[in-house]
A and B are shown apart, each in its own frame.
Chain A
Amino acid sequence: MLRSLRCAALLGSLFLSASALAVDIDQATYGYPLTNPFEATIATTPPDLRPKLPTNDEINQSDYTLNMRPEREFSLPDNFWAVKKLTYRIAKQDRAAPLIFLIAGTGARFDSSINEYLKKLYYQAGYHVVQLSSPTSFDFISAASRFATPGITQEDAEDMYRVMQAVRAQNASLPVTDFYLTGYSLGALDAAFVSKLDETRRSFNFKKVLLLNPPVNLYTSITNLDKLVQTEVKGINNTTTFYELVLSKLTRYFQQKGYIDLNDALLYDFQNSKQHLTNEQMAMLIGTSFRFSAADIAFTSDLINRRGLIIPPKYPITEGTSLTPFLKRALQCDFDCYLTEQVIPMWRARSDGGSLLQLVDQVSLYALKDYLHDSPKIAVMHNADDVILGPGDLGFLRKTFGDRLTVYPLGGHCGNLNYRVNADAMLEFFRG
């Protein structure tokens, strides 16, 4: 008897472990054409492999503003007038429907290109869609963030939760059947924390939550991104800077083409031309874009909290004031610098001092390990060649999510989100 029980237990655990294996998509059947992760990140999917989506004219949508932090009206300088209130975008169906929240990635606004794409995808499938800026976005920091120092994911999620409640209140008459939540990149990490918060606050009772390409260890991710501008790029010398190099390539590309044509296929076509960028150049380009996000965050946070690291606390700013000297200073600050100079001191002051390791544990997916493991409503889609991951991160996701993790073999960072196969999977998850 005992033996058979033991046998059953063994069998059961075997079954369990078998069923908890992540879904690994095979590269041969996947059919995604870009095998280079940097190319995929920059150019994303070639236009004819994207799903067919409605145009903006066919979507009933509008932008609204929320007055989340009324005191900022007075504390922010004049030239911040446009971000004293938080703007979001909502697309409404003309009948009762489920509502999905989209959270943008690092430094991105509600109308970032991926958010716009996801909006079209889910709107077409019959959802009301609410597009939200990332807690690290310039407008969110100024208008909705209590401490205006994004990076402590728990606090960011609380700010985000209030925004979502305010959105719901502002559209109280909208008939909503269920609430869903998704986010990409850093927005996916935020979504996980928001979902956790919702378990106790219960404003939405999210039915399903999908995390797209989330960072696992936030510190690994920012280290990777900071490192991207350290690649050895050929063609840079005393007379040619990196931008000049890229622009001259672009110029030659257009000259060979005969005319300037800006469209979705441009980047893909450019990479297939003679002027294409090398891996190092592409990495530098991705790194550059993140460094500008870092500069925006560091400057805005410093200004609102009057820390005096980049801009003197009482510096008079009017609409005519040049901010270029401060941009020059902010550009020198990468994510690591922002973390050490602004996030950690604030976090230490508020939490009786902890180590960097403790902080990293608190702000990364590790903090939610048990919750994520036991919540069947949360799933992850990630790529095996995503630049924001480090060794071991996929292993963590496999252990935590089991069969709720889908690993795509290609796509870089979010480059395959607009691939037809991914689009189908993303819709299927919420449908099922």
Chain B
Amino acid sequence: MAKYLLLLAALMCAGVANADNSKAHEPVKVDADGFKEPLTKLKFNPGLDQREFERSSLTALNVYDPLESWNRRVYHFNYRFDQWVFLPVVDGYRYVTPSFLRTGVSNFFNNLGDVPNLLNSLLQFKGHRSLETTGRLLLNTTIGVAGLWDPATAMGLPRQSEDFGQTLGFYGVPGGAYLVLPIFGPSNLRDTTGLIVDYGAETEINFLNVSKVSENHPEIWALRAVDKRYQTSFRYGQMNSPFEYEKVRYIYTESRKLQIAE
């Protein structure tokens, strides 16, 4: 009996060893200089002539972008606007306000944003997420004093953003043409529609009366825009490449797919 078990175990081990044909589990060899030769732990294709990097990258460059020329101009406009207007304003904002106030502002607008998050979670029948977002709204609006504090995150209910673009994607609507919106940045036809719908819904619901008041007080919009930029870590030029436009386009497209799938 024991012998059979042993044989079985040996066979299973062999199976594992066969399945994992990489060299990852070979012992580390250290040469006379103390060098561990990490490349010997890799399995290379024998001819060193595979073109997988090229194939992957060239495939990745196929993003539907019929308005490319226009988009690139808007991209450069945004880049300049960001450097000459937006970021200096954000820096000024950072300079004149204490950190807790900025956090309060961010929390407040994030709490408003939880309304479309909830609606879109519901539209996608994501029960668990809808419950969590409802919990967030209740907690933050009451204990968090109209959203200025964010006790929900501390209690293990993290913010989970869902927008109408994602809802459309959830029901199988493809992204459509890639679009670079002035000021807003990268988007596509579907997500731009989503943006408009979310905006409409927000105005209709008029949560905490903010939309109503904003109509007569454009400074609320300005603060919201500054806060949005303050919260966004992306900086133009940070990819440090003459091909930043292509890279942003790919990352935007893929991250939207990821958000929709998740």
Q: Would A384 and B30 count as touching, CB distance under 8 A? A: yes
**A230 and B236 contact, Cβ closer than 8 Å, known pairs A319-B72, A324-B61:** no
Known contacts A229-B53, A395-B33, A280 near B42 by CB under 8 Å = yes
Residues of A within 8 A of B76 (CB): 79, 81, 319
Q: Enumerate chain A residues within 8 angstroms of B45, measured Cβ to Cβ.
A: 230-232
Chain B residues with CB under 8 A of A407: 34
Do the beta carbons of A279 and B242 come within 8 Å of each other? no
Please give, as numbers and ranges, the residues of chain B lying within 8 Å of A242 by CB-CB distance: 52-53, 55-56
A255 at the interface (CB under 8 A from B): yes
Contact, CB under 8 Å: B242 / A299: yes
A132 vs chain B, min Cβ distance (A): 13
Q: Is the CB of B38 within 8 A of A394?
A: no
Q: Could you say which of A38, A138, A395 contacts B240, with CB atoms under 8 Å apart?
A: A138
* Contact residues, B56-82 vs A (CB, 8 A): 56-61, 68-70, 72-73, 76, 79
Q: Which residue of chain A has its CB nearest to the CB of B31?
A: A391
User: Are A323's CB and B245's CB within 8 A?
Assistant: yes
Point out the residues of chain A lying under 8 angstroms from B83, CB to CB.
Answer: 82
Whether the Cβ atoms of A279 and B41 lie closer than 8 Å is yes
Question: What is the size category of the interface that chain B forms with chain A?
Answer: 35 or more
- Residue of A with least CB distance to B233: A262
Are A328 and B58 touching (Cβ within 8 A)?
A: yes
Is B36 located at the chain interface by the 8 A CB criterion?
Answer: yes
Asked whether, in the complex, the Cβ of B24 is within 8 Å of the Cβ of A279, the reply is yes
Interface pick from A105-113, A163-171, A419-427: A105-113
- Cα distance A291–B51 in the bound complex, in angstroms: 12
Partner-B contacts on A (CB < 8 A): 24, 36-38, 57, 79-83, 107-109, 111, 133, 137-139, 224, 227-233, 236, 241-244, 247, 250-251, 254-255, 258-261, 278-280, 283-284, 287-288, 291-292, 295-296, 299-300, 303, 319-324, 327-328, 330-332, 384-387, 389, 391-395, 398, 407, 412
Q: Is the CB–CB distance between B52 and A292 below 8 Å?
A: no
Min CB distance, B18 to chain A, in Å?
A: 13
| B48 interface residue (CB < 8 Å to A) | yes
Minimum CB–CB distance from A384 to chain B (whole Å) comes to 5
A287 and B56 alpha carbons, distance in the complex (Å): 13
Give the complex CA separation of A260 and B245 in angstroms.
Answer: 24
Indicate if the CB atoms of B36 and A37 lie closer than 8 Å.
yes
